[in-house]
Structure 1
Amino acid sequence: MDARDEHLTLEALGLADAPRDHPLRYPGVRPSGSGLLDGDRLLPLDRLAHPGRTPVVAVGSNASPAQLRHKMAESGVSSPVPMVRARVTGIDVGVSAHISRHGYVSASPVGSPGTARQLFVIWLDPEQLATMDATEPNFDRVLLPAPQVRVEQENGEALLGCFAYVNHHGVLHDGSGAPRRHRDQRALIAELLAESVALRELFGGTPEEFCRRARSDAGLRDRGTRLFAQEKRVTVSGLEHLRVR
């Protein structure tokens, strides 16, 4: 590596810890601005739009450079990934109604007219897109509807044809029937455990124990996912009708 780029490494930028390794830090640290993820470096981005690539709105850990780096490296994909900060109106960040193999409860978009969030758009080439689809077995990649959902990159340019990954198990509600909003992972898991005796019996009484048991036992994760539905804690995201890729 060129010594001039040492300050652009994920380690130097404080972006090196992936949620897959630190589940209670999900969704991971996001960059302060747009950049080009190139292996272990986040380089300056010379342009925002990238013809020939597919723009995907990242609502969870796909906006973590460390998580993205792991996903691509595991599949032998080494091409850079443009990451563009954007303002997204019309969706909010809900809670997926399944337990991830990495031990956390992930995020999923929910329809929310008028809500605006600062998110990232990742621009994926065909190989990267296939890799990403393969890493999201609990999600469907859907085309976000314009103008109900508006995606504006940091220069104010509106994007059309953006996709997002929507959990096909549905999302968890907040007790009133409305989608629960994703929050700090430790607080979220503590809240879910406090609300369900059966969930505590499966995963223990603390977020740390929840993550440890979830990471080590696929069958337990499946039982926990089914329990969400059995306890009627699941609702629709409002995006189920969208066209799947």
Structure 2
Amino acid sequence: MTDRSLAALGLDGVPAKEPLTYPGRPTTEPSLLTGAELLTLGVRPRRLGEWPVVDQDQDQDPGQSLDDVLGELGQAPTGRRHPVISVGSNASPGQVSHKLTRLGIPAAVPMVPVRVRGIGVGCSGHISPAGYVAGTPYVDEGAETVLVVTWLDSTQLKAVDDTEFPDYRRAILPGDAFRMTMPSGERLSGAYIYFSAHGVLAGPDGTPRPGGGDQAELLGDLLAASARLRELLGPDPRTWVARAGADRSLREEGTAVFGREGWVLPQTDFLPYLDDSAELRLYDDLPPLGDSLRS
């Protein structure tokens, strides 16, 4: 039997426990996270809930549908879940499993890479409780990025909210302004996204510093650019995360240094879409299936 455990797949890393591994390894294929396992979903020109959960050991068996498997697990079907675009560690199965299971919440979560237009990935203008500098989205009309979308039930969404607030806020991005294309070609009508309440870090050229890369390299670059950060959190990235992760006052002072260095760009483009409580249906107001597919 094929071992689909997160450990066997090399996806069991938890950036919250190992800050220099942030943002962790994302899933690269449509999958169903079930706690400590990651099952493959077969892409079909149908709604997500009808995609089969593939049995790796049965080549001729398309498997049960995703909604059927979720039902057998006693979990909400896809139509009662909320799509959430992940730009940081929430794309990592290990991190998502850790966030939910430590609270006693079942980590049964569909995770699908989706092509999103109009969103860039940068670095938040703050130091996270784990000591790393996390990612944040920003509006970039020319960008087209593959980002993992997680489908969370209401309990899971609330739990993730609690890990993000107050450093992040949640917005609903409409599909007509931010095109979101599933691997099947179907387009989402909208999805939630978390964006930093602290702004976006600028690079030396004044534009958003790219996020999602090697955390040690990022922290090393920031230390090299600021004598005050070297004094506060240096001399190296390992010392940074150890000190910052253990001392809230150091995190707050480091965050303040970002501002004093003039590195922080304000986040205002998502404010028109801000909604911290609204329910979002999976495929609300989409045209019929045949018309929603793209080649």
Q: Please indicate, yes or no, whether the TM-score normalized by the shorter chain is above 0.5.
A: yes
Q: CA deviation at 1:28?
A: 0.3
TM-score between both structures, scaled by the size of structure 2: 0.78
Structure 1 residues without counterparts, runs of 5 or longer: none
* Structure 1 match to 2:59: none
Given residue 200 of structure 1, which amino acid in structure 2 is its aligned partner?
A: R
Map Cα deviations across residues 94-131 of structure 1 (whole Å, 9 max, x no partner): 10011011121000001011211111000000000000
8 Å contact kept, 1:48–1:153: no
Aligned partner of 1:48 in structure 2 is 48
SS of corresponding position for 1:158: coil
Q: Tell me the amino acid that sits aligned with residue 121 of structure 1.
A: V
Of 207, 213, 216, which residue of structure 1 is paired with 2:237? 207
Work out whether residues 199 and 264 of structure 2, in 8 Å CA contact, stay in contact via their aligned partners in 1: yes
Q: How does 1:86-235 map to 2 (within 5 A)?
A: 86-137=114-165, 138-182=167-211, 183-235=213-265
Say whether residues 1:21 and 2:49 are aligned partners: no
Q: Deviations over 1:176-232 (max 9, x none)?
A: 332111132111111111111111111012111111111111111011111111222
- Tell me what 2:35 maps to: 39
Structure with a larger share of its residues in strand: 1
Q: Residues 126-164 of structure 1: CA distance to partner in whole angstroms, max 9, x if unpaired?
A: 000000100102100101133231111111111112010
Is the radius of gyration larger for structure 1 or structure 2? 2
Q: Which of 270, 274, 285 is matched with 1:239 structurally?
A: 270
Q: Does the aligned pair in 2 maintain the 1:113–1:148 contact within 8 Å? A: no
Give yes or no for contact 2:81–2:151 (8 Å, CA) kept in 1: yes
One-letter identity of the residue aligned with 2:222? L
1:33-68 CA distance string (max 9 Å, x none)? 011110100012366252111100000000000100
Q: Tell me if structure 1 keeps the 8 A contact 2:29–2:40.
A: no
Q: Aligned with 1:164: secondary structure?
A: strand
CA RMSD of aligned residues (A): 1.4
Q: Number of aligned pairs? A: 241
**Cα shift at 1:79:** 4.6
What's the CA shift for 1:32?
2.5
One-letter amino acid of the counterpart of residue 16, structure 1 = D
Work out the CA distance in 1 between the residues paired with 2:174 and 2:29: 25
Q: Is 1:63 equivalent to 2:91 in the alignment? A: yes
Moved >6 Å (runs of 4+): none
Counterpart-to-counterpart distance in 1, 2:8 and 2:107: 21
TM-score, scaled relative to structure 1: 0.94
Amino acid corresponding to residue 80 of structure 1 in structure 2: A
**SS state of the match for residue 162, structure 1?**
strand
Q: Measure, in 1, the Cα distance between the counterparts of 2:129 and 2:177.
A: 32
Change (3 A) 1:165 1:243: same
Q: Does 1:11 align with 2:7?
A: yes
